[in-house]
Amino acid sequence: MLPRVADSLSFLYLDIVRIVQDDTGVCAEVNSPQHGTETLYLPTAALSCILLGPGTSITARALATLARHGTTVVITGSGGVRCYASAVPDSLSTNWLERQARAWADDHQRLAIATAMYEQRFGAGVVPPGTTLAQLRGMEGQRVKAHYRLLAQQHRIGRFRRAYDPSSWDTQDPVNLALSSANTCLYGIVHAAVVALGCSPALGFVHSGNQQAFVYDIADLYKAKLTIPLAFSLHNSPNPEQDARRSFRDGLRLFQLLPRIVTDIQRLLAPEADIAAPDLDEQLVDLWDPVSGIIPGGVNYAATETP
């Protein structure tokens, strides 16, 4: 029995390796002058996301195995800092995608979900009735800046300004380097969970106009507890990008991020219902009927007697 996405491992970052499929499974081949070629087998069925950095090659057979096991493959820059492309597996059900599309297309539901996201981040009841999305964005900006100031004071950094400039990456301070690196890992994990549920990463409720809009929406729910405090704690690190990835991965074990992502997405899209994950033994392809709604597929609905 393969593990559910909520039970999966978070992510694995690889660079300067060759990923192949042999008779046993998917493995990473590492070449070094001292030890020659070393082989490390990857737990593909239990991994939610693999980040492939520079110097990485992967065979078609290995990529097909990862897709079959539901593992998202993300092509990143050095240190997993920037996402260039991704390969996502097919989902088993469109139930959550249909819920997401209906809510996204309805302005009232979209605003309600956006409001629920802000209240989850900043506390229930902090958003007055009738608040517009523009006002919500303003409230978020003020709270995030206040959070930055508080952490900067705690770590005695002085004035901090969030910056992300790939063209002058090496000139940025350690906090910004660590924050960008940790956020990239977070985006990869959220992307894997979103796709595993069958949702569209592009249909965001707060963010818009980007293929990762919904990923950014969900990732914002956890930055204040995960990536932002971690980045400020690494303000004196000589290698903040690498330290951010390792510390972030270790912190996920206590935070139980994947189960939270799955639960939060389901709660946001269906706040009125408690819907369990689809059973792998259930009929996966249904038919739509204008009168009855969803009816089982794989059934011969022809008349029993030919007139």
pLDDT, residue 27, reads 93
pLDDT, residue 38, reads 87
Q: Containing H/E element for 29?
A: strand 26-32
Q: CB of 96 within 8 A of CB of 111?
A: no
Residues 53, 59, 64: CA angle, nearest 5 degrees: 100
Give 3-state DSSP helix, strand, coil % of the chain, rounded to 5: 45, 15, 40
Q: Mean pLDDT check: name the lowest of 2-6, 21-25, 68-72, 81-85.
A: 2-6
pLDDT, residue 273, reads 65
pLDDT, residue 92, reads 54
Q: CB of 191 within 8 A of CB of 212?
A: yes
Higher pLDDT, 52 or 256: 52
Q: Which domains does the chain have, with CATH numbers?
A: 5-87 (3.100.10.20), 95-269 (1.20.120.920)
Please state at what angle helix 95-105 crosses helix 257-269, rounded to 10 degrees: 50
C-alpha–C-alpha distance, residues 13 and 10, integer Å: 10
Is residue 110 predicted with pLDDT exceeding 80? yes
C-alpha–C-alpha distance, residues 75 and 86, integer Å: 6
pTM for the full predicted model: 0.68
pLDDT, residue 278, reads 42
Question: What percentage of the chain has pLDDT greater than the value 90?
Answer: 27
Q: CB of 110 within 8 A of CB of 89?
A: no
DSSP secondary structure of 144-191: HHHHHHHHHHHTT--S------GGGGGGS-HHHHHHHHHHHHHHHHHH
User: Which residues on adjacent β-strands are paired with residue 58?
Assistant: 19
User: Mean pLDDT in the chain?
Assistant: 81
Nearest to 235, CA basis, from 158, 166, 164 = 158
pLDDT, residue 222, reads 93
pLDDT tens-digit profile of 276-296?
A: 444 434 445 677 777 777 777
pLDDT tens-digit profile of 159-217?
A: 888 887 766 767 788 999 999 888 888 888 888 778 767 789 999 999 988 889 999 99
